[in-house]
Chains A and B, each alone.
Chain A
Amino acid sequence: MQRRDFFKFMGASGALLSGASVLGAEHQSKIDPDNVVGVLTDFTECIGCRECEWACKNAHEMATPPLESYKDKSVFANYRRPDETGFTVVNRFHEKGCTQTDLDVKVQCMHCNDPACVSACIVAALEKQDFGPVTYDAWKCIGCRYCMVACPFEIPAYEYNNALTPIVQKCDMCISRLDVGKIPACVEICPRNALTFGKRSDLIKVAREKIADNPGKYVNHIYGETELGGTSWLFISCEPFDTLNFPKLEQASVVTLPESIQHGIFKYFIPPAMFYGLLGMIMKLTKPDSETADNTNSSSEVHHD
């Protein structure tokens, strides 16, 4: 008896899952990675002036201290991260032998080709635009913060102290500037050649050339070219990236597997509907005979005396 019930139980649960794997849908990138824009960051060119930090805040109409104050180098004492008050920061890594001096490292949202944050968002408040930027629509957001849990670069920041209208904050590649034909504010202000805006596929070529033309200057790694399916923001450096607090990541996109599972279960609602039918059948077949014969309101939840 017990064994029979158990197999019924498991058979039923298996149906949903096998249904899921049969339909196991393909995951496709929503964008064509050759047709997106991006920015190439060359750490060896960066002088740590932090004017990009200023320009970013300014462009996003955030509280912006005067440009003068950015000359203060004491902020380099601590490792900083982009947060709700600033979408990009430059950190200084001391005693990195490759530049003889210090190595300055700018970070911001990577604008992934296959963004985990977009895949996570429950209401499509985060969106990957066809031409590259990953944007956020506060009006849709429910504030669940799953995007933050999901981001493999730990980029989105939250206004925890805003009680009523908290916003998920991160770099949007200056999409409102891009829309009117300008380039991102940080790229525009950079006094050196540290930041180059352009088509991602072109930037990869530029980066390859730089590495090839300057033997020994760069490590042979374009960070963002393949990481988790590639990112719009690319980096070249004279030091290995894991020593600069960049996560070591595999090439496979993190969204492929969960999205396939999700599509398998959800696709056209077929597996749930099949499961529903199966349970209905089990319910009929296992109904004790005595009961079927015995009275009219047999299957009812409510019995009267």
Chain B
Amino acid sequence: MIDHAMAAPLKHKYFTPGVWFLTALFGSALLIALVRFIFGLGLVTNLNNGYPWGIWIAIDVASGVALAAGGFTSAFLIHIIHKEKFEALSRPALLTAMLGYTFVVIGLLVDLGRYYNVWHPLLPVMWQGNSALFEVGMCVMTYITVLYIEFIPIVAEEYRNRVNLPILKFLNRPMGRLLAFLDSKMGKFMFIFVILGVVLSFMHQSSLGALMVLVKTKMHPLWWSPVLALEFLLSAIAVGFPMIIVESLAASRSFKMKPEMSILTPFARYVPILLGLYLATRFADLTIREVWHYVDGSLESRFFVAEIFFGGLLPFFMLLSEKIRRSPKWLFIAALLVVLGVVFNRINVYLVAFKPLYVSARYFPTIWEILVTLGFVAGLILVYRFIVIHLPVIHARRDAS
């Protein structure tokens, strides 16, 4: 069987012009965040009493969580129903999920007015079981811990025999022992965390949709639905594999490796099924609620049509074709459409569908909000690159050329 032993640090040069650009972007995001922490949200955002949430919630948090779905969907496929031929995709997906959630939390901290109270939901006196946001908070906190635990074996595998701390040399031996111990023992109980990760993901992915069920009177009927929770769950499941595909192809390109088409092509076969299920649910919901007549040429309805067509139907039909699944370029485009489609959906649900009662000017993010959002994506890519260069995450099959 194929196993992790083939994953290896890529030992690639870290800095390239592109990486410098991302570093600059990430740096500016940190600077803007600093300004926000000193002067408050008012100075850097376009938020107001009508629009309390902007792109930091819609993109950094809501879309971030959805796009990290590659973690639990691949864990299900590879470890729970044992499709071990896709093993090579497991670690990159885990890493993306881990970093994805890390940046979700960072983004959230920038947005929270009293960020230093973020741990309050842990206190039983403040538990509020009616709040979907409470469930999201609890699940995300637990899940992020689970993801870091799942990542330990990867660190252990690389460093168990060569811990080399700069100053604390006396710790080298105990650390090495600890890592060797974890490396040999953790596999035995790792399944507990793998299953837990899937359960937690189901819970908070759906709760991120349930969150907006409460906002019925202020939401456009094309998106508000009593089954938003189910739709968020299904779309997260549908976007998990495309995200892994996009990432794998992008990494192959960036590190000049051969695209792993022998795995990605069969892997992509699942996508139209899962995406189809999500789209069918959306269509059924829209039909049952009899809201199709809202597709009436209004701004919202145009966003709706664009979301459903470019982010749903188009990639669905593309991925039905074997030819497209075999072509690295077309597979990349189709998978990217699914990814962008889900991001578009989250933006639509959280911002476009949201109609304040008394604020007439539509919310549009400031350049600073946009820079922070882009900068954190850049930060995620930078950390990802650093980790795959130094730790055994990607199955290195260097291109001969």
Q: What B residues does A5 contact at CB under 8 A? A: 77, 81, 83, 270
B292 interface residue (CB < 8 Å to A): no
**Which residues of A pack against B, CB within 8 Å?**
2, 5-6, 8-10, 12-13, 16-17, 79, 81, 83-84, 116, 118-125, 140-146, 148-150, 152-154, 156-163, 165-166, 228, 245, 247, 249, 254-255, 257-259, 261-263, 265-266, 272, 275-276, 279-280, 282-283, 286-288, 291, 297, 299-305
Once the chains bind, are A303 and B5 in contact (CB under 8 Å)? yes
7 contacts between A and B (CB under 8 A): A5-B83, A123-B134, A149-B52, A154-B357, A262-B130, A280-B195, A283-B194
A260 to chain B, nearest CB (A): 10
Pick the contact of B188 from A84, A152, A287, A297 — CB < 8 Å?
Answer: A297
A18 to chain B, nearest CB (A): 11
Once the chains bind, are B37 and A257 in contact (CB under 8 Å)? no
A99 to chain B, nearest CB (A): 23
B interface, size bucket:
35 or more
Q: What B residues does A302 contact at CB under 8 A? A: 4, 153, 156-157, 183-184, 186-187
Once the chains bind, are A140 and B126 in contact (CB under 8 Å)? yes
Could you give, for residues 191-210 of chain B, a 1 whenever the CB lies within 8 Å of some chain A CB and a 0 otherwise? 10011101100110011001
Once the chains bind, are A279 and B198 in contact (CB under 8 Å)? yes
Pick the contact of B211 from A146, A163, A254 — CB < 8 Å?
Answer: A146
Once the chains bind, are A263 and B129 in contact (CB under 8 Å)? yes
B382 interface residue (CB < 8 Å to A): no
Once the chains bind, are B215 and A149 in contact (CB under 8 Å)? yes
Pick the contact of B237 from A13, A81, A288 — CB < 8 Å?
Answer: A13
Once the chains bind, are A160 and B41 in contact (CB under 8 Å)? yes
A183 to chain B, nearest CB (A): 28
Segment at the A interface, from B42-50, B313-321, B367-375: B42-50
Q: What A residues does B76 contact at CB under 8 A? A: 9, 12, 279
Pick the contact of A121 from B131, B213, B356 — CB < 8 Å?
Answer: B131
B217 to chain A, nearest CB (A): 4
Of all chain A residues, the one with the shortest Cβ separation from B134 is: A122
CA distance A283 to B277 in the complex (A): 23
**Which residues of B pack against A, CB within 8 Å?**
1, 3-5, 36-43, 45, 47-50, 52-53, 76-77, 79-84, 111-115, 117-118, 120-121, 123, 126-135, 137, 150, 153, 156-157, 183-184, 186-188, 190-191, 194-196, 198-199, 202-203, 206-207, 210-211, 213-218, 226, 229-230, 233-234, 237, 269-270, 273-274, 277, 354, 356-358
Known A158-B52, A286-B81: A304·B5 in contact at CB below 8 Å: yes
Which residue of A2, A265, A275, A305 has the most chain B CB atoms within 10 A of its CB atom? A265
Q: What B residues does A275 contact at CB under 8 A? A: 199, 202
Once the chains bind, are B187 and A301 in contact (CB under 8 Å)? yes
Once the chains bind, are B233 and A13 in contact (CB under 8 Å)? yes
Once the chains bind, are A255 and B130 in contact (CB under 8 Å)? yes
B238 to chain A, nearest CB (A): 11
Q: What B residues does A142 contact at CB under 8 A? A: 112-115, 117-118, 120-121
Once the chains bind, are A6 and B270 in contact (CB under 8 Å)? yes
Of all chain A residues, the one with the shortest Cβ separation from B156 is: A302
A232 to chain B, nearest CB (A): 18
Other A-B pairs, 18, CB within 8 Å; known A148-B49, A286-B82, A291-B82: A5-B77, A6-B273, A13-B233, A121-B131, A123-B117, A142-B112, A145-B113, A150-B214, A154-B49, A158-B113, A247-B217, A249-B217, A262-B207, A265-B135, A279-B80, A280-B195, A288-B84, A300-B190
